[in-house]
Amino acid sequence: MASAKQPAATRHVALLRGVNVNGIAIKSAELKALFADDLGFGAVRTVLASGNVLFDTDTSDAAALRTRIEQALRKRFGYDAWIVLLTQKQVAAMAKGYPFERIDDERHPYIVFGSDAAMLDEVLEKAGAVDADVEQLKRGKGVLYWQCPRGESLDTPVAKLLAKTRYKSSTTTRNLRTVEKLVTG
């Protein structure tokens, strides 16, 4: 009797919010063990120590997958865990779409990922017309592209807006260089 063909595994990226800041310390080895051993995902790899996990799964229900991962993080590490979950192909397209000139010695290139499009739209609306001499902000598909002066990523008007508790459960920010490592991993 022939068995049904299993769906091919898809490479995913889990972007954890608030890891290794504000007293929430998770070692990469423990994070990898959770995804590989507890959740049973394949080809698990952590990237840097800021809550980036690459993994393979054939699960196609993204909302259920996200909920499952968040619950496992909460149970294992005891914090109010939120993630943005994307396929690696989606992340690659988002990185490729970065619209601003890269002047890495003067400015930091960021991508603000969101699990709720309405929240990204709200951030953009509340930011209003940003001072282009200070920072730039533009909407992309599923993201906001943001650029600010080096050393000021916590102090600009957009940075202060993104730090608000309201956006904690639906957004997370990564430097473009980190995102590019997620695409090649």
pLDDT tens, 28-69?
A: 999 999 999 999 999 999 998 778 999 999 988 999 999 999
Give the Cα separation of 95 and 108 in Å (integer).
14
Structural domain that includes position 83 = 10-90
Is 5 domain-assigned?
Answer: no
Is 108 in the same domain as 50? no
Specify the 3-state DSSP secondary structure of 174.
strand
Is 24 in the same domain as 74? yes
Is 20 in the same domain as 80? yes
* Amino acid letter, residue 21: V
Is 109 domain-assigned?
Answer: yes
Overall domain count for the chain: 2
Is 22 in the same domain as 104? no
| pLDDT: which is higher, 151 or 147 | 147
Give the Cα separation of 77 and 122 in Å (integer).
30
Is 68 domain-assigned?
Answer: yes
Is 70 in the same domain as 111? no
Q: Which of 38, 68, 90 is the last residue of a domain?
A: 90
Is 137 domain-assigned?
Answer: yes
Is 78 in the same domain as 122? no
Q: Phi and psi for 71 in degrees, rounded to 5?
A: -65, -40
Q: Which of 38, 71, 90 is the last residue of a domain?
A: 90
Work out the mean pLDDT of the chain and round it to a whole number: 90
pLDDT of residue 20: 62
Is 51 domain-assigned?
Answer: yes
pLDDT of residue 129: 83
